[in-house]
Amino acid sequence: MILSVCFIEKQNSMSFNIAKSDKKRVIIVGGGFGGLKLANKLKKYDFQVVLVDKNNYHQFQPLIYQIASSGMEPTSISFPFRNIFRKRKDFYYRMAEVRAVFPEKNMIQTSIGKATYDYLVLAAGTTTNFFGNKHIEEVAMPMKNVSEAMGLRNALLSNLERSITSSNEQERQELLNIVIVGGGATGVEIAGALSEMKRFVLPNDYPDMPADLLHIHLIEASNHLLAAMSPEASEHAEKFLADMGVNVMLNKRVMDYKDHKVILEDGHEIPTRSFIWVSGVTAVPIGNMDSERIGRGGRIKVDEFNRVIGLGNVFVIGDQCIQTSDVNYPNGHPQLAQVAIQQGELLAKNLRNIEKGGRLQPFHYRNLGAMATIGRNRAVADFKHLKMQGWLAWIMWLVVHLRSILGVRNKIVVLLNWVWNYFTYDQSMRMIVYARKAKEIREREVMEAKTHLGDDMLSSTGKLKA
């Protein structure tokens, strides 16, 4: 008990420091596509808005693979929240992680303290799914966010440098084998980007190393790539990658990684020190969420208004929720940016309708299509009445993604990067930089971890109840 009291005192030293106003408070957890759209749309309505995110920036996830492959700098696809909402009134941003939700008190517990709400919207998205394999989780390299992409870039470049100086042939082959697990859009795109790096960059940067020593393996457990897209898109993606020299392995399941070898279910082993895992995602968990409210993929069950079942003022949008009431998507909507954006836009209107005593509008997803790029002049695109492949699909992919990036500066930088890379066949971001946290930050993180432990000790029996 003494230990818990000590932790409570430390907890009280941290606070949201947001005064309660006469306006209803909407807390949005997560500044991804859905959370950002909701926060922007609420500007028109009379709410106090609080955005909570563990990062102080929005990250444009569809282009994260270009950071990992040294094609783009992180700031080109990241935009600080405080810059986005610089002139916004009644808006507050807090850098924190949500640990628990207590709906009976209209309160959330975070890494910086507690905060009350009138309406809570969870939009924290997903994290990498390792399917319960703790060992693979420890040793594989994920690529779900900007920081992980930077870590992957450093690892790939460091392995190339090491391969030049290695006197051990086995070690050299391990360093020059890249294994990517997961044949979804992220896996296909990073495989294509690395193949182009092998073809256009390595001969110039490493003239004393034959480029054909670098091998790229893409492993998929099912019998086709791009499971969320059409069979035509899958077939073209596989053909594009094969033409680019990528070894596509279908119907292969990865079981483990030991002694610098990826071990497949059929006993086959691939030596590598670049083990990339992009095999799936799971919803970011809320610590005390009742298991009855969790659906497939760890997603929180919601009704047609994106409201958590049984909770009148708690909503979930984007990849973190699963809605099965839409007859066109009985197993839940696809985990795409457009779903989150449309849900955020509608929820802003519904929150206003609640306040005005109006009728809530149910969510129905408008499918705007899906796209994936495999490399220069190669992409696949599925629209409602049209399937596209090759150069035209690639141009469409460029236009759609350029329009979606936040900030005029970022759009210009990304466009110039693409133009430069296209005409020079060069990627200029090949620096190995390892960030070191300051002592003050390290100590603060340790203190917050201890504080969280203390709070859990006091509320270990707390489940999310109606």
- For residue 178, what are the β-bridge partners? 216, 274
Q: What digits encode the pLDDT tens for the residues 53-107?
A: 999 999 999 999 999 998 888 989 999 999 999 989 999 999 999 999 999 999 9
- The span from the CA of 338 to the CA of 318, in Å, is 9
Q: Poorest-confidence range of 161-165, 293-297, 434-438? A: 434-438
DSSP characters for 220-263? -SSSSS-TTS-HHHHHHHHHHHHHTT-EEE-S--EEEEETTEEE
**Confidence tier at 41 by pLDDT (50, 70, 90):** very high
For residue 7, the model assigns a pLDDT of 36
- The span from the CA of 434 to the CA of 77, in Å, is 19
Q: Which whole number is the average pLDDT over 46-59?
A: 96
Q: Which whole number is the average pLDDT over 234-245?
A: 97
For residue 1, the model assigns a pLDDT of 33
pLDDT at 451 over 90: no
- The span from the CA of 457 to the CA of 448, in Å, is 14
How far from each other are the two terminal CA atoms of the chain, in whole angstroms? 29
pLDDT at 458 over 60: no
Rounded to 5°, the CA angle 457-296-267 comes to 100
pTM: 0.89
Q: What type of residue sits at position 219?
A: I
Beta-strand relationship, 91-95 and 47-53: parallel
pLDDT at 461 over 50: no
Rg of the chain in Å (alpha carbons): 23
For residue 12, the model assigns a pLDDT of 43
**Confidence tier at 14 by pLDDT (50, 70, 90):** low
- The span from the CA of 2 to the CA of 347, in Å, is 44
Range list of β-strands (E), 133-289: 177-181, 215-219, 247-249, 254-258, 261-264, 269-271, 274-277, 281-283
pLDDT at 353 over 50: yes
- The span from the CA of 220 to the CA of 180, in Å, is 9
Are the C-beta atoms of 67 and 73 separated by less than 8 Å?
Answer: yes
Burial class of residue 407 in the structure, from the number of CB atoms within 10 Å of its CB (0-12 exposed, 13-18 middle, 19+ buried)? middle
Range list of β-strands (E), 303-403: 314-316, 321-323, 370-375, 378-383, 386-389
pLDDT at 367 over 50: yes
Beta-strand relationship, 126-128 and 321-323: unpaired
Helix axes 337-356, 33-41, angle to 10 degrees: 30
For residue 5, the model assigns a pLDDT of 35
**Confidence tier at 464 by pLDDT (50, 70, 90):** low
Q: What digits encode the pLDDT tens for the residues 130-183?
A: 999 999 999 999 999 999 999 999 999 999 999 999 999 999 999 999 999 999
Helix axes 439-458, 2-11, angle to 10 degrees: 130
Q: What is the percentage of the chain residues whose pLDDT exceeds 70?
A: 93
The mean pLDDT value of the chain amounts to 90
- The span from the CA of 283 to the CA of 322, in Å, is 10
Question: Hey, what's the torsion of the CAs at 122, 92, 447, 435, to 10 degrees?
Answer: 90
Are the C-beta atoms of 319 and 299 separated by less than 8 Å?
Answer: yes
Q: What digits encode the pLDDT tens for the residues 370-395?
A: 999 999 999 999 998 899 999 999 99
pLDDT at 3 over 70: no
For residue 432, the model assigns a pLDDT of 86
For residue 452, the model assigns a pLDDT of 56
Question: Hey, what's the torsion of the CAs at 333, 147, 250, 296, to 10 degrees?
Answer: -30
Q: Which whole number is the average pLDDT over 205-210?
A: 90
Question: Hey, what's the torsion of the CAs at 268, 271, 276, 282, to 10 degrees?
Answer: 40
For residue 466, the model assigns a pLDDT of 52
- The span from the CA of 466 to the CA of 308, in Å, is 10
Buried b (16+ CB within 10 A) or exposed e, 128-139: bbbeebeebeee
Residues contacting 239, CB < 8 A, separation 6+: none
For residue 196, the model assigns a pLDDT of 93
For residue 459, the model assigns a pLDDT of 45
Q: What digits encode the pLDDT tens for the residues 247-270?
A: 999 999 999 999 999 999 999 999
Q: How many CA atoms lie within 13 A of 59 on its CB side?
A: 24
**Confidence tier at 10 by pLDDT (50, 70, 90):** very low
- Token digits for 371? 């796209």
**Confidence tier at 25 by pLDDT (50, 70, 90):** very high
